[in-house]
Amino acid sequence: MPKIGLFIPCYIDQFYPQVGLATLRVLRQLGIDIDFPEEQTCCGQPMANSGCADETQPLAEKFLRVFGKYDHVVAPSGSCVSMVRNHYAQWLDGKPGFDHLRSNTFELCEYLVDVAGVTKVDGDFPFKVGLHMSCHGLRELRLGRSSEKMVPAFNKVGQLLAQLKGIELVELNRPDECCGFGGTFAVNEEAVSCLMGRDRIADHLMGGAEVITGFDVSCLMHLEGIIRREKTQLRVMHVAEILETAGLS
């Protein structure tokens, strides 16, 4: 049986512990041996995103040290996984274990669908749900077809959620527009970032969503920050929190 290293990105660890727990519960259901290595902290994306390559290096190296020993690494965050898969090579190319790490680090839904082979989701969630397809999961991990691409439609997250009884995935006018988080962009370009966030929320509300869900807590943190400030009637949940009580097989 493969051994999973659970990667709970720093801001989830600190601000959204319930998402970490939900992720753990989802994975435990599959009867997989899971380990949470205590020395983990951050993948280094904030530094890399700011162009600070030297400041990213120790974190990339540390990540390899901490997670290199696992068969699979799973995280409830598309953008952190993309960091490992698409950007780590700059610092880790040629280092022992990196190729294995890169090809075996997965976003949660991607892991469920592609690796664990989950085809059935047994549970219910009788709410109208807006699925926010965060950009890095969408366009860098290809968790779904982006609206720009002229290829057959698919959505690894949507296909899991759609099986829940009572759930209604609402239609969005712009199915995959960026919410405006963008890492340090959220503060560097505060005005545009928040406008993008407001527009995204408005689109979900227009579709009738009661809950916004997604696979990237960073985007959800940004959207939730606006929702709470504006006291909008909209609940924000990570996809793991919706799936945690469902039976997966």
Applying the rule CB under 8 A, the residues between 162 and 191 that interact with other proteins are 174, 176-178, 180-191
Q: Choose one: 31-39, 91-99, 100-108, 113-121; the region binding other proteins (CB under 8 A).
A: 31-39
Among the listed residues 30, 50, 71, 207, the single contact to other proteins using CB under 8 A: 50
* Shortest reach from residue 141's CB to other proteins, in Å: 11
**Which residue lies nearer to other proteins by CB, 156 or 198?**
198
Q: Which residues contact 241 (CB under 8 A, 6 or more apart)?
A: 18, 19, 22, 213
Residues 73-92 that bind other proteins (CB under 8 A): 86-87
Cα torsion 140, 123, 238, 76: sign: negative
**Which residue lies nearer to other proteins by CB, 25 or 100?**
25
Give which of 60, 54, 110 is closest to 83, Cα–Cα.
60
Residues 229-248 that bind other proteins (CB under 8 A): 229, 231-236, 241-242, 244-245, 247
Residues 120-159 that bind other proteins (CB under 8 A): 123-127, 135-136, 138-140, 146-151
Q: Choose one: 67-75, 104-112, 153-161, 227-235; the region binding other proteins (CB under 8 A).
A: 227-235
Among the listed residues 30, 62, 162, 168, the single contact to other proteins using CB under 8 A: 62
Among the listed residues 4, 5, 8, 67, the single contact to other proteins using CB under 8 A: 8
26 vs 16, 29, 31, 50, 53, CA distance in Å? 16, 5, 10, 33, 34
Among the listed residues 33, 52, 93, 97, the single contact to other proteins using CB under 8 A: 52
Q: Which residues contact 144 (CB under 8 A, 6 or more apart)?
A: 133, 138, 153, 154, 155, 156, 157, 158, 176
Other CB atoms within a 10 A radius of the CB of residue 125 amount to 20
Give the Cα separation of 51 and 47 in Å (integer): 6
Examine residue 59 and tell whether it contacts other proteins (CB under 8 A): yes
